[in-house]
Each structure stands twice: as C-alpha cells, then as structure tokens.
Amino acid sequence: MQSVDIDAAARRLNASYRLVEREEIYDSGFRLPNARDLLKYARVSVTLADRVRLLGLLDQEGSLPMSDCLGAIRNTEPVAAIASMILHRFIDVELDDAILGPETMVRRIRG
C-alpha cells in the first residue's frame, strides 16, 4: 500500500498516522519492549470503580510512581488495569526512558 493510500484511509477513519524510519523503532531503546509489554493487556476491561479511583488519586496527588497507583486498583488485576488505561489513553507514562517498572511515573491525561 502506498503512502497516499494510507493517508486517504486514515482521513476516512478520522485517524492519523506518521511514517517512522526503521531506525527510530529499533534503535529507540525502550519504546518497543514497553509497547510489547502493554499490548498484552489491550483487551483488559477496567471496572468503572477502579478507573474512577485511580483517576481521582492522580487528580489529588498529581503524577505518581506506578507502585503507588497499584493500591487504587481493587477489582481488576492492578498491572493489567494500569496497562489497559495507558493503552486507552486515560493515563500516560514515559515509554522511552526505561523499561516500565514500579518507579515509572504515571500521569493523568486530560481531555
């Protein structure tokens, strides 16, 4: 598929895309391994109660280490819930700095 076809398809879906050089993907350090880890949880459904608790905690405290966020999750497996919320753009983490872990800072996405 040519770039023009992809651009037109993305516009039809009201989506966006960005062409990335191979080196940017494979030489970027931690982004690809972190993305692989997160994608395992793409189909996890986070309960409304867990989502509200975590987002409320982040509203109250600001950015928190992932280890501090785990306690807010009660009805879903905590790591799976946080990964799912990252993928569904409720919260954000830095994927490029290091492998995701307990010290990874979690931020709420507004909007």
What H or E segment, with its residue span, contains residue 26?
helix 22-26
**Is pLDDT of 1 > 60?**
no
Q: Output the six-digit token pair for 40.
A: 């395992």
Higher-pLDDT residue of 92, 23: 92
Edge-first strand order for the sheet with 105-108 is 64-65, 105-108, 91-92
- Cβ contacts of 13 within 8 Å, gap of 6 or more: none
Rounded average pLDDT over 34-41: 96
pLDDT at 15 (0 to 100): 84
Rounded to the nearest integer, the mean pLDDT of the chain is 91
d(CA 108, CA 58): 6
Q: Residue 5 corresponds to which amino acid?
A: D
Instruction: Output the pLDDT for position 81.
Output: 98
Q: Which pair of tokens denotes residue 5?
A: 């076809």
Confidence of residue 63 (pLDDT cuts 50, 70, 90): very high
Share of the chain above pLDDT 90, in %: 69
| pLDDT number for residue 14 | 87
